[in-house]
Amino acid sequence: MTDLQIYLTLAVFAAVIVAIAFDLIDMAVAALLGVGAMLTLGILNNDDLIAAARSAGGPLALLFGGMVVAHVLGKTGVFERVGQHFLHATRGSGKRYLLLLILLVAPTCALLPNATTVILLAPVIISVARALKVDFVGPMILTAIVSNAAGMLTLVGDPATFLVGSSIGMSFVQYLQKVSLAGLLAVLVVIPLLPWLMPQIWNARVELPPAAAATRIDRPAFVALTLAILALMVGLFLFGENLPTRIVPPAVAIIAASLALLLVYRVHIEPIDDAFQAIDWKTLVFLGAIFCLVEGFIKTGLLQGLSLKLYGWFGTEYALVALALLAGIGVLSSLLANIPVVAAALVMTKGYLVAAEAVPEIALGAGFSDWPAHTLPVFIAMMFGATLGGNATLIGASANIVSAGICAKQGERITFVRFLRFGLPITLAQLAVATLYVIAMVWFAS
Amino acid sequence: MIERWQSVAVFLAALLAGLHLPAHAGEVLDAVKARNELRCGVSEGIAGFSEQDAGGRWHGLDADFCRAVAAAVLGDPDKVRFVPLKASTRFPALLSRKIDLLVRNTTWTLTREALLKVQFPGVLFYDGQGFLVAKSSGVNSITDLNGATVCVEKGTTHEQNLIDYFAARGLTVKPLVIDSSARVAEAFFAGRCRAYTSDASQLAAVLAHSPGGARGFAILPERISKEPLGPVVQGGDAEWDTLVRWVLYSLIAAEEQGVTRANIDAIARTSQGAAWRLASGKDERLAQALGVRRDWVVRAVKAVGNYGEMYERNLGRDSPLNIERGLNRLWTQGGLLYSPPLD
């Protein structure tokens, strides 16, 4: 890529972000225009589009499958039932509603992909908000943010954390010992902010009507089969990779979606065309376009090339590098999909540590696990920045975009600024906690 | 559970983000042409291989090879940006695409190709690890270094070779590992170690610049390793790998055919023989397949001469180092240099 192409890439990217941030044009249109500009300027070529398609394929399959299964589940009345239980548990208190939401979302994200969790829980969260007569936009944004932060609870909670952890040979137990507490703190730090960010919901009190009789189930066989598909999907998410034929999460989502659509077709719940129309295609197209834009950004090599710059700026001051990565990757992840950012940042960080001679050159290859203790905070800071930074803006994480798409379908549009009003303070608080955690790690390591 | 993200992670990290993983075929060549400049990673200063003179011009075998590639690809040997690199920063620079080509006294090893996903298109210089000692030290062979402190540069293959060699013979050695080749030399001449181990060619360069002249020092005759030094490219871009390899082979083939910087135009005017085919640059189809101009060989040879000219000017009899060609002679003269047919 020439210097001119690099500047053009940054300009196109900045233009898209500005257009979305200031609500100048529809965000999906802005992203598509950005991709079109990059294609016209020769920044993206066929190979890049194929790479972007591969990159986006997994997340989009997960979203598509989640949307289909959630739509079919919606036809069973199961959301109404769960919603009734949830509503009853709130006892009419907005505060209890928000706390229970966190309690529901965080552990679910330990089992299911973040965006899938948002899709599946959204009908319940929205129905309870309506019953409590509060705006559901705040809770939906909270759901996305908590799902992102909860991804840090375990090594496998989020592809980004897994990517970093596995690339440095960190085991599940080591992750629990060294990082999970930070994930828990990142979730808990949201709570004291809620009275300030969502005062109307936090202070809401409504008199709940007496518990109504449970919704009657008209088609028990259909409900049973749908729940069986849901159970199969969750089961395969957890154990699919251990089967003789490995089934990866995106494939699980496609299998579950196919079975759900077959069920709809055979039981004549609705025309298949209606089921397809219920899919939030705009969100899927937007995410696909964002992946193409990120491909263009990564292609500039700017992020990867920072490895030598980092060494020039900070030498072997690993604590400073860790904090710089926490902040820098945090900012980047708030504007770019965090997984490609993490992948690029890994190259950068490993390159820095090799250049600083903290590790031999073979550390640049796969499978190296002999990382000295004093280098771990550098990787963990990068993990924090990537995972938590995505909470700041509407486009920082796929869960955020999905959440906005669901709200739009319910008639409530989430603009960039509206999301930022919740996302930015929470992200700053989370990154502050993460900074203290990294400083403590450095202190203990030294 | 842990495995459940593996495919997603591998997809998203490895295949998808691109990054230091395999480049697209032809990607580097396209980028070099678009930039109209070759970014070549070289040493921070190793006499005979890559060092800057007072006027800022780079000299040496490695620097000349960069020029030959630039001449073949861009038609101009001066369209090279030399990027000086420490040993420890060379692979991060290559893998993060800060450079297009690494030509920095780098030993071709399986570990590097397999783990770092880089490719060595060929061997530019056959070297071996030797020992520089002060004549006054009384050391005449490696066994005399039993128990001694030996200076060695960090981030190279030399340290492990040193340890392995001594351990295999029941000898002991205390490696003094130092950051850069310049500092290793300083430490050696300051008497902090009894010997300095590195590639023999590098020791010859250090010897040529030794304080008080070369007479007080000697390179021991034994070699403890094979060090085939060569250019390095990022893995996955077969077209770039092929082009760099054949620039190297064309320089060797030119020597085999007696084509030199001085006679290449004259040979091109004749109309027969392998030397003419090499010099004439008539094979348009081949050049198109490689993605270069049809006179790419002519331009490379005109820029730096054939391999023999390049060697003698930088390392051999025309240089202060005066290193015997040894293994770097043509195969027809008892060396290892052998070019497959360019036809």
pLDDT digits (tens, 9 = 90+) for B106-120: 999 999 999 999 999
Of chain B, the percentage scoring pLDDT greater than 90 comes to 64
Q: What is the ipTM of this complex?
A: 0.76
Residues of A in contact with B92 (CB under 8 A): 307-308, 350-352, 354-355, 364
**A58: nearest CB among B12, B88, B179:** B12
> What DSSP line would sit under A5-39, residue for residue?
HHHHHHHHHHHHHHHHHTTSS-HHHHHHHHHHHHH
Minimal CA separation from A251 to chain B, in Å: 10
Which residues, given as ranges, of chain A have pLDDT below 50?
none
Which chain A residue's Cα is nearest to B19? A344
Provide the residue type at B193 as one letter: C
Model confidence at B193: pLDDT above 60? yes
**Does B52 contact A at CB distance below 8 Å?**
no
Q: Do B17 and A298 touch (CB under 8 A)?
A: yes
Q: Do A365 and B4 touch (CB under 8 A)?
A: no
Say how far apart CA A276 and CA A279 lie, in whole Å.
Answer: 5
- The number of C-beta contacts closer than 8 angstroms across A and B is 161
Q: Do A237 and B4 touch (CB under 8 A)?
A: yes
Strand partners, B43: B85
- Both tokens of B332, joined, read 């027809």
**B91: nearest CB among A59, A298, A364:** A364
Q: Do A305 and B96 touch (CB under 8 A)?
A: yes
pLDDT of res. B21: 42
**A2: nearest CB among B6, B24, B35:** B35
Minimal CA separation from B326 to chain A, in Å: 30
**A365: nearest CB among B6, B96, B115:** B115
Minimal CA separation from A227 to chain B, in Å: 22
Q: Do B93 and A308 touch (CB under 8 A)?
A: yes
Model confidence at B185: pLDDT above 50? yes
- Both tokens of A120, joined, read 């599946």
Residue B139 gets the label, from left (phi > 0), alpha (psi -120 to 50) or beta, of beta
Model confidence at B164: pLDDT above 90? yes
pTM of the predicted model as reported, rounded to 2 decimal places: 0.78
pLDDT of res. A144: 95
What band does B13 get if pLDDT is binned at 50, 70 and 90? Answer: very low
Residues of B in contact with A368 (CB under 8 A): 115
Model confidence at B17: pLDDT above 60? no
**Does A174 contact B at CB distance below 8 Å?**
no
The DSSP output letter for A299 is H
Rounded to the nearest 5°, which phi and psi values hold at B241?
-55, -45
What band does B267 get if pLDDT is binned at 50, 70 and 90? Answer: confident
Q: Do A163 and B4 touch (CB under 8 A)?
A: no
- Both tokens of A70, joined, read 């959630």
Range list of β-strands (E), chain B: 38-43, 51-52, 58-59, 80-85, 101-102, 118-119, 125-127, 129-134, 149-153, 174-178, 195-199, 217-219, 227-229, 233-234
Q: Do A308 and B89 touch (CB under 8 A)?
A: yes
Which chain B residue's Cα is nearest to A158? B5
With residue A101 as reference, give the H or E element that holds it.
Answer: helix A94-111
Say how far apart CA A27 and CA A16 lie, in whole Å.
Answer: 8
What band does B336 get if pLDDT is binned at 50, 70 and 90? Answer: very high
Which chain B residue's Cα is nearest to A159? B9
**B4: nearest CB among A1, A57, A238:** A238
With residue B26 as reference, give the H or E element that holds it.
Answer: none
pLDDT of res. B294: 85
Q: Do B92 and A54 touch (CB under 8 A)?
A: no
pLDDT of res. B132: 95
**Does B6 contact A at CB distance below 8 Å?**
yes
**Contacts for B53-60 with beta carbons within 8 Å, 24 or more apart?**
B58/B82, B59/B314, B60/B314
pLDDT of res. B263: 92
Query: How many C-beta atoms lie closer than 10 Å to residue A35's C-beta?
Result: 23
Averaged pLDDT, B304-317: 96
Averaged pLDDT, B34-62: 94
Residues of B in contact with A351 (CB under 8 A): 20, 91-92, 95-96
Interface of A with B in 234-253 (CB under 8 A): 237-242, 246, 248-250
pLDDT of res. A195: 95
Tell me if A175 sits within 8 A of A110, measured CB to CB: no
Q: Do B16 and A344 touch (CB under 8 A)?
A: no
Question: β-pairing, B129-134 with B58-59?
Answer: unpaired
Tell me if A250 sits within 8 A of A61, measured CB to CB: yes
User: Among A105, A103, A102, A114, which residue's Cα sits nearest to residue A156?
Assistant: A114
pLDDT of res. B23: 55
pLDDT of res. B6: 45
Tell me if A240 sits within 8 A of A251, measured CB to CB: yes
Say how far apart CA B106 and CA B87 lie, in whole Å.
Answer: 9
